[in-house]
Amino acid sequence: MAPSLHENLQSPLSKMSLYPVSSEKVALQPPKPPKPQPPISSASLISPSNLTLLPKGLPSSNSSNKPPPRVPPIPLLKTSPSPSEGTSFRQPRLPPLRSLPHTKGPLFEHQPFTVSWNIPDLVCNRYKISLDTSPFKGVATPAKVPGQFLSLFYRDRLGLYPHVDLTSRKLFYGGIPQRGNLKASMKKARADINYYIPSKTSRGLAVIDWEEWRPLWDRNWGTKRIYQTLSVAHVMQTNRSLTVQQATEKAKQQFELAARSLMSRMLAMGSAMRPNYLWGFYLFPNCYNYGWLEPDYTGQCSKEVKRQNDKLLWLWESSTALYPSVYLQASLSDNPRAALMVRNRVKEALRVSALPRQRGTVPVFVYMRPVFVDQNRRFLSQGDLVSTIGESAAVGASGAVLWGASADYDDRASCESLSSYLSSTLNPYITNVTAAAQLCSDFLCQGNGRCVRKNYNSNHYLHLNPENFRVMHIQNRYFVLGRPTFADLKTLSRRFTCQCYKGLSCTPRTYSELAKALILSLKQGLQQKAHTLNKAVLDDPQQASIAKDNVKKNLKV
């Protein structure tokens, strides 16, 4: 009998240094910026419509003066004791950081990190098992359904993709890219895009999933070597005087040229037809950092892999988003090496996103699965979520996509387990990370950029401080109750820096500026009505004064 699918395994969280931050209304500009900056929206730290941030300790009010319903809070991640925070205003001395390139702004305003849902729900709907996807920004199914936020183009959904069926050995559309009909393929692709993304104004993610062959010749190993064999045979048929070595070299040139033409033109057409969608290929870039069972595993991408990725500059220039994958095998369950694997794959994606040297790097959305690839009835533990979702957010990804196969949820038991897993583990963690990333952006980066680890190889994460915050689930929505302390913001400043959005300035705030922003946010939170559960929160001048005094006690000006 399989173990409970939503049971959390023991994780090493208590030994990890987790970043304590919060979410609440904040001022997005320091009172006196050192240099003029573009105007910033006065929007608060309210994240997407599915997440509301509540000021901690304030009474609610309505016409009947009834308190909100009592709902037990969802426990946040336990953190290890943090080092004592000094009270000085002086910034700690850190080694100089290499400036980060500007990046494209978030797909959704004021949401630097989002998680999207791309899991089939047909069987679960048939059994009338509800799946709470409220914390996800963008919900879609891999099924052939047009007009979705995430359009997933498998090999049979976009153009005429040349490939070989390895089981039947049948060749489709020429089998290899140099034998494909590019003109006919582009014509069909135009019709496919019009069908699957009918709206010209909607926005979302467009992911092309072509996995039969890889555009670099040398990467077609194993079962994919058949594309090399067919390519050499194609050359020999046209010129029998060539030696095998000569034919192989010519086949390599023809293959890579045809692959480049097909892939780049598909991206160009998609971007031209639906410019509000972010177009890219699933699994690109890859790091190939396997071998986590080796004793000296570091997770780093090899120099050869980086060199090969540099040769794909044409692909990074054509893509408007990158979609690397960090699916976990069961051997990485609650294993710190999972974080090494993930952070280096995301780091490589961030590196190649800067290769085109455009004004802003393209966003990176990391593909994940809530189950293990080799044990699809076993869900990731909270520690595994930290190593995947948490790691991606901390090193600077724009978001994550949770994908599911139809075989993962194909009966009542698997659907019930998924439903339970969502409410017990996955949804609270997603709420935690997205709120923390938003807070860090608004406080440290003035809302003009996203937070990125200063030391990419550290274990600092964008997590809410459990001493100051609670995640609440009320009436099918998730809420974050709490507010940051000055110590939280100092920790944030020490561990993270800012990557600015294209065209904006986001110099990290100093301790002094953070203190002023915190006091101002507390005042605004008390002077303005924060709406939650359709009930207003009353002002409390006395509590505002106390909060201000508490902040000043932590400062020695």
- For 195, the enclosing helix (H) or strand (E) is helix 182-196
Q: Are 28 and 446 in contact (CB under 8 A)?
A: yes
Single out the catalytic residue among 109, 211, 304, 467: 211
The sign of the torsion formed by the CA atoms of 380, 382, 384, 387 equals positive
Q: Are 1 and 464 in contact (CB under 8 A)?
A: no
Q: Are 391 and 433 in contact (CB under 8 A)?
A: no
Q: Are 102 and 360 in contact (CB under 8 A)?
A: yes
Torsion over CA of 123, 399, 439 and 92, rounded to 10 degrees?
A: 140
Q: Are 5 and 378 in contact (CB under 8 A)?
A: yes
| Measured distance CA(466)–CA(77) in Å, rounded | 6
Nearest in space to 50 (alpha carbons), one of 106, 142, 132, 112: 132
Give the Cα-Cα-Cα angle 19, 23, 27 (nearest 5 degrees).
115
391 as an active site residue: the answer is no
Distances (CA, A) of 365 to 264, 458, 475: 19, 21, 30
Torsion over CA of 366, 369, 372 and 378, rounded to 10 degrees?
A: 150
Task: Say if residue 510 is exposed, middle or buried (CB neighbours under 10 Å; 0-12, 13-18, 19+).
Answer: middle
| Measured distance CA(464)–CA(82) in Å, rounded | 13
> What letter represents residue 198's amino acid?
P
DSSP string, 50-70: TEEEE-TTPPEE-TT-PPPPP
DSSP string, 434-461: HHHHHHHHHHHSTTSEEEEESSTTS---
| Measured distance CA(506)–CA(504) in Å, rounded | 7
| Measured distance CA(523)–CA(76) in Å, rounded | 26
The catalytic residue positions are 211
